[in-house]
Amino acid sequence: MVVAAQPEAVEAGVEALRNGGNAVDAAVACAFVASVVDPQMCGIAGFGNAQLYLPADAVHACVDFHGTSPAATRADMWEHLVRGETRDGFGFVLDGNPNDVGYQAITTPGSLKAWHEMQTRHGRLAWSDVVEPAIGWADEGFAIRPSVYHWWLEGATMGRVDNVERLAHTPAGRRIYFHEDATLRRIGENLRNPDMAATLRHIADGGSDVFYTGDVAARIDADMLANGGLLSADDLANYRTVWTEPLHTTYRGLDITTNQPPGGGVMVVEMLNILKHFDLAAMGHNSVDYLTTVSEAMKWATADKDAHVGDPEFVDVPLDRLVSDEYGAEVADRIASGRRASVARMAGESPDTTHVCVVDAEGNAVTMTHSLGMPSGVITDGLGFMYNGCMGVFDPRPGRAGSLAPGKRRFSSLCPTMVFADGELDLVVGAPGGTQIAMGVTQMLLNHIDFSMPVLEAVVAPRFSSTSDAIDVCNRIPRSVTARLEANGYDVVRWPESYAFARVHAVDVTSEGLAGAADPGSDGMVMVV
């Protein structure tokens, strides 16, 4: 089974399985196609994290491929430009937005290197065969889907640059995404990207080296140098992924595995360790007591993330304490006693991410979240792909866990997660959605485990989030519930969307076979082979 946010990508994953590939082949083929047909959500110049479970090969690992800040980065280079912090806590607003759009917003990309390592180490198909479907979509074009177009028109949110301005930032972007009269392409139009097809052919022939040390690297370096970018050829050549064991906890007798910092798995584990001390089912799903309890767990985990979690190579993350049962019990006692967390924000992350879950016939599984962050808007002429804009989430104030430093990986909420029952794979889950990812994944787990919801029901159930002192709710949370929360002193922010706070995708391994769910808030799809 393959589950992802783009039907074209799901089909590529399914074809990889039909052609004799395994879950790794399918996930990588899916990621490549997603980078073509959802080109602001993800791409070869992006970042991410994946969890691989290959029991026959005794492999259970996470590969972290967050972008690293270029060597030219300085801790105080933007300190004088700070205007504020986004309310959700996943980004900073600077005068002139140099961290958000343009050449200085780009971190050293990790996606392509990780996909190549995953596929050549653990896949079965030829590398070129895995890349080929994406080349076809770039060459022949794809119909612009509603989710792609609606992001283009989202406008300027939380102090960020307008997305249409991003698309038009470079001459290449104006050629790809606009008509000759400068009007934006629309839903249903066929969008071809022959430059990206040519780049992907080069990668299919030469692997990731062409991007990090070869011809493509040289073209990237020249473009950055000519336009004041921080990224250099040395940054590309020195980039390394990080392979780790998964982070682990138990919840209601099940084993939960997720990713290590600087990913968001630490937040999932902390929240589950807090919530295991409450009888959530007895409270009732999305009741006032339930929203209060889970929101406070979200707030405490967010406050701990803000204070302590960053790149472990730069920050002494107190991981053993944050994910311990003892600390979970301590925070649960605070919540039970009525103590409320406070999540400080200066003032006023993009949901621009995607996800794929795959389980194959042999029980191999991959869950991978990959992204451009808030895309930089930069496309090097002739290469066709947009670069990430991940510098925007680093803290421009020196001396903090998320502060700028050369070679540092940013925190992100990415948390590809698996659940095991009695040592056997039970559930594979993950989501795009910026700072809301850990919140969406955790609620799906609670829905499935505490409330025994089938996987589709667990994914589509109304969600909420609290990454600040407010509780954000989707429009399907009843007003009778939010009125009582407000009467209890909470600031409640109602979103207009029925489906909000991450886009959760999952595969449930049942005794009757595989069951999957793609979040209806995206254009996603489930296919079984």
CB hemisphere CA count around 446 (13 angstroms): 34
Q: What is the pLDDT of residue 401?
A: 86
User: Among 218, 163, 165, 173, which residue's Cα sits nearest to residue 195?
Assistant: 173
| pLDDT surpasses 80 at 505 | yes
Q: What values do phi and psi take at 7, rounded to 5?
A: -55, -40
Helices (H), 20-85: 23-37
Q: What is the pLDDT of residue 347?
A: 35
Q: What is the pLDDT of residue 159?
A: 62
Q: What DSSP element (H or E) covers 263?
A: none
**Active-site residue flag, 353:** yes
Q: How far apart are CA 459 and CA 502, in angstroms?
A: 10
Choose, from 170, 199, 353, 442, the residue flagged as catalytic. 353
Q: What is the mean pLDDT of residues 24-40?
A: 98
pLDDT tens for 157-188 read 656 788 999 999 999 999 999 999 999 999 99
Ranges 80-94, 344-358, 456-470: which has the least confidence: 344-358
Q: Are 87 and 348 in contact (CB under 8 A)?
A: yes
Buried b (16+ CB within 10 A) or exposed e, 419-429: bbeeeebbbbb
pLDDT tens for 201-252 read 999 999 999 999 999 999 999 999 999 999 999 999 999 999 999 999 999 9
Q: How far is CA 144 from CA 36, 150, 152, 215, 490, in A?
A: 11, 10, 11, 30, 40
Domain boundaries, the chain: 244-348+414-510
Read off the tokens for 7.
Answer: 């039907």
The CATH number of the domain covering residues in 244-348+414-510:
1.10.246.130
pTM of this structure? 0.95
Alpha carbon distance, N-terminus to C-terminus of the chain: 6
Decide: helix, strand or coil at residue 226.
helix
Gyration radius from the chain CA atoms? 21
